Every structure is written in structure tokens, then in C-alpha cells.
Amino acid sequence: MSDALTMEIKGLKETQRAMEKIVKELHGSTMLNAMRTATLVVQRSAVTGVPVDTGRLKASITPEVRTAGAQVLGVVGSVVKYAAKVEQPGPVRAHGRRPYLKPALLENQDKIFKLLDNAVGMIIRNNSTSGGGA
């Protein structure tokens, strides 16, 4: 007489397909749009906090969303050569250093996390109600 235990798992393949779809959609339009909105939030805040002399640096602060492998990246910055010098901490001189990007990110981190959390939640909800969930 055998005391063997038998177990059957149903729906595993369907669950795996649904998870693969969710992972793929984490790089799709819903996440890209959320990251785009997050970069705009940071850009607006940075523009209001940047020191202004000629306005060139202020006008050059731009948002960008890009993908790098499995990552969705939001970048806010400037191509103006002296932008990094203004951002870096150090002695304040006339029109000197005054961080504007890092404070903009820190002041808005709760909004950013909420935007991205909502996007992930939407992706998961859409996949669990479309017959892909277990």
C-alpha cells in the first residue's frame, strides 16, 4: 500500500501567459505615458526653481522618456554647458550654484510614485479582467 500524495495544478500555463503579458505591457504605452507625465511634473517644478539670468537655462530644461532594455527611463535635464555647475552644491556666487533639478525631483516624488503605481495597477487590472488571470 502506497501513501503517495498526488497533486494537480490547473491554470498554471494561463497564469504564466498573463504574467508575461503584464511584463511586456510594463514597457508599453500605459507606462510610457505615466513616465512622460512624471517628467513633465519634474520639468515644471525645475523651471520654477532654476536661477534666471538670461533665461537660457530655464528655457533649455526638457523632459525625455526612453527605454533601455527592460527599463523605462524618465530624464529631465538641460544641454546648456553650465547647467551642471548651477545644479551642483558649492559656494553661491553671483548667478551661482542653486540646485533646481534634485529639489524638483524630491518635492514631487510622491506624485511620481503615485503616477507610476497607478499605471502598474491599471496594467494588472486590465490583464486580470480580460480573462488572463487565474
- Reading the block at residue 89, the C-alpha cell is 552644491
Which domain, by its residues, includes 86?
12-128
Q: Is the pTM of the predicted complex or chain greater than 0.85? A: no
For the chain, how many structural domains are there in total? Answer: 1
Q: Please identify which residue in the block is written with the cell numbers 496594467.
A: 123
In this predicted structure, what is the pLDDT of residue 132? 45
Query: Is 1 contained in some domain?
Result: no
In 3D space, the residue among 111, 113, 121, 114 whose CA is nearest the CA of residue 26 turns out to be 121
Rg of the Cα trace of the chain?
A: 23
Overall average pLDDT of the 65-87 stretch: 92
In this predicted structure, what is the pLDDT of residue 3? 79
Using a pLDDT cut of 90, give the percent of the chain over it: 52
Query: Is 7 contained in some domain?
Result: no
pLDDT in tens, 12-48: 888 888 888 888 888 889 999 999 999 999 999 999 9
- Mean pLDDT check: name the lowest of 6-10, 79-83, 99-103, 123-127: 6-10
Q: How far is CA 124 from CA 24, 69, 70, 73, in A?
A: 11, 21, 17, 20
Query: Is 30 contained in some domain?
Result: yes
- The answer to whether residue 92 scores a pLDDT higher than 70 is no
